[in-house]
């Protein structure tokens, strides 16, 4: 009998992932198994298109692999060969840079927010700010209304026991901009940035599925079918005007919020490169840089979802607050649409409002799709993209204010 137990023990020494699973506490065991299953589910939902495949497939893979591949280090401590996000000592870091294969990317590109800025640069190179320049006040108003969740969730999170940094970071989910949530939580919530960012990205996928129901619930079909009449013809916006806007706005916003300057320069340099017509830069930034960064961001977020890291009692609160933030922002955007509809004496489609939630271009596409369902000839996409692009800038401004405000009060 003893020989059999010894043989089994020796066998388990070979299959260390199983050995560490068996030797874990019940909570860690259940979380590891749950996260392996969740990773597989994310890959499947990404393949089906229910969630964003560009991010969910690497994230799901990372989540599954990191929770399966736990081994015992000499000394008995459990760990992985992926990444160690908790190192603060520089000499220890030098050791781990040579052990964990993703540690160089985490240390030199993720934990300092570089990867979020690279994604932002890529987004900038794809944006056409002409939609915003054509109607700046209208777009800004809608984007402001669609930040309702970002504002309201902050005190709610404080009331539920989160500290100010964690509260501001989870409130940023209401801005529906993944890189922005990552940037803010890296600055303000070092302990909870992994669950907050994962919650943000999981929920952003849900905007595509959930917001159509919100639109149908809050806006009757008759109003969704409104075809706005153009009062005066719109002058085309030239690339020179767009370039001037990107340059001056970047300088002004960096001057106002130096703490968010990396975000502003990343976004506006992307816009500037596009509008300058430098095709070589555009193809690099909107191709390898954007997709490379998105891939590694997804993979990194996945491998950071280790059982020990996510086993935090605050996770349930974060899950609730994340969905509340997105819901309130959607409602705020629609309320903004209604306000403009009222002040323009009915010559405005209130569905445009939800596009103020800055999940580019998802919410604009959702708004157009919902209008097309009831009125196939009505086109609201230009107005929706204007609000949508403005939402990105407004979210970056709010991120800058939260970071400045909270860092100053510490």
Chain residues binding other proteins by CB under 8 A are 132-133, 136-137, 139-140, 143-144, 147, 151-152, 154-155, 158-159, 164, 167, 235, 237-238, 240-241, 244-245, 248-249, 252-253, 256, 390, 393-394, 397-398, 401-402, 405
Rounded CA-CA distance 266/111 in Å is 17
Kindly report the number of other CB atoms within 10 A of residue 71's CB atom: 12
Measure the CA–CA gap between 84 and 201, rounded to whole angstroms: 22
Least CB distance from residue 148 to other proteins, whole Å? 9
Question: How are beta strands 78-79 and 71-72 bridged, if at all?
Answer: antiparallel
Q: In terms of CB distance, is 97 or 158 closer to other proteins?
A: 158
CA distance 53 to 50: 8
- Closest to other proteins by CB, 226 vs 331, is 331
* Beta carbon nearer to other proteins, 112 or 239: 239
Q: Which is closer to other proteins, CB of 96 or CB of 245?
A: 245
Q: Which two tokens stand for residue 370?
A: 């919902």
Alpha carbon distance 234, 142 (integer Å) = 20
- 357's CB contacts (< 8 A; 6+ apart) are 146, 175, 176, 207, 211, 326, 329, 330, 333, 363, 388, 391
Identity of the residue, 248 or 278, whose beta carbon is nearer to other proteins in the bound complex: 248
Residue of 316, 315, 306, 313 whose CA lies nearest to 28: 306
CB-nearer residue toward other proteins: 350 or 391: 391
Q: How far is the CB of 32 from other proteins (least distance, A)?
A: 36
Q: Which is nearer to other proteins, 73 or 405 (CB)?
A: 405
Provide, rounded to whole angstroms, the least separation between the CB of residue 137 and other proteins.
5
Q: How far apart are CA 46 and CA 37, in angstroms?
A: 14
Size of the chain in residues: 410
Residue 145 token pair: 């209304």
- Give first-to-last CA distance, the chain, whole Å: 62
- For other proteins, give the closer residue by CB, 163 or 372: 163
CB 141, min distance to other proteins, A: 8
CA angle, residues 23, 106, 22, in degrees to nearest 5: 5
Rounded least distance, CB 231 to other proteins, Å: 17
Q: Pick the closer one to other proteins by CB: 151 or 319.
A: 151
Tell the smallest beta-carbon distance from residue 152 to other proteins (Å): 7
- Least spacing, CB of residue 136 vs other proteins, in Å: 4
Minimum distance, C-beta of residue 400 to other proteins, in the bound complex (Å): 9
Residue with tokens 């809050």, as numbered in its chain: 218
Q: Torsion over CA of 75, 79, 85 and 89, rounded to 10 degrees?
A: 10
Minimum CB distance to other proteins, residue 39 (Å): 35
- Residue 71, beta-bridge partner list: 79
């Amino acid at each position: 009998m003893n020989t059999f137990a010894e043989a089994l023990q020796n066998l388990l020494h070979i299959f260390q992932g199983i050995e560490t699973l068996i030797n874990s506490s019940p909570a860690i065991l259940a979380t590891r198994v749950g996260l392996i299953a969740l990773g597989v589910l994310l890959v499947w939902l990404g393949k089906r298109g229910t969630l964003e495949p560009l991010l969910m497939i690497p994230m799901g893979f990372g989540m599954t692999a990191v929770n399966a591949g736990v081994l015992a280090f000499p000394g008995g401590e459990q760990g992985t060969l992926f990444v160690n996000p908790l190192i603060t000592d520089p000499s220890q870091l030098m050791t781990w840079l040579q052990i964990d294969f993703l540690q160089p990317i985490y240390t030199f590109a993720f934990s300092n927010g570089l990867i979020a800025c690279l994604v932002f640069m890529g987004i900038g190179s794809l944006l056409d700010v002409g939609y915003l320049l054509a109607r700046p006040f209208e777009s800004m108003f809608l984007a402001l209304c669609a930040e309702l969740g970002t504002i309201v969730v902050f005190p709610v999170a404080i009331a539920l026991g989160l500290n100010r940094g964690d509260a501001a970071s989870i409130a940023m989910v209401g801005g529906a901009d993944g890189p922005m949530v990552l940037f803010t939580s890296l600055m303000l919530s070092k302990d909870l940035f992994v669950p907050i960012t994962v919650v943000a990205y999981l929920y952003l996928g849900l905007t595509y599925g959930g917001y159509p129901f919100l639109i149908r619930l809050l806006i009757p079909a008759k109003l969704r079918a409104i075809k706005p009449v153009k009062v005066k013809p719109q002058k085309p916006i030239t690339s020179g005007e767009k370039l001037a806007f990107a340059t001056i706005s970047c300088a002004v916003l960096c001057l106002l919020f130096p703490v968010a300057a990396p975000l502003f320069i990343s976004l506006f340099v992307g816009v500037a490169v596009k509008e300058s017509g430098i095709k070589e830069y555009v193809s690099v930034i909107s191709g390898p840089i954007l997709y490379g960064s998105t891939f590694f961001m997804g993979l990194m977020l996945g491998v950071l979802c280790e059982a020990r890291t996510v086993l935090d009692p605050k996770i349930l609160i974060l899950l609730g607050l994340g969905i509340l933030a997105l819901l309130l922002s959607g409602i705020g955007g629609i309320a903004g649409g209604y306000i403009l509809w009222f002040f323009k004496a009915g010559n405005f489609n209130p569905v445009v409002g939800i596009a103020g939630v800055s999940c580019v271009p998802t919410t604009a596409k959702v708004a157009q799709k919902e209008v097309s369902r009831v009125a196939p000839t009505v086109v609201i996409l230009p107005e929706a993209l204007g609000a949508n692009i403005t939402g990105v800038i407004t979210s970056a401004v709010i991120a800058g204010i939260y970071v400045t405000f909270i860092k100053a009060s510490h």
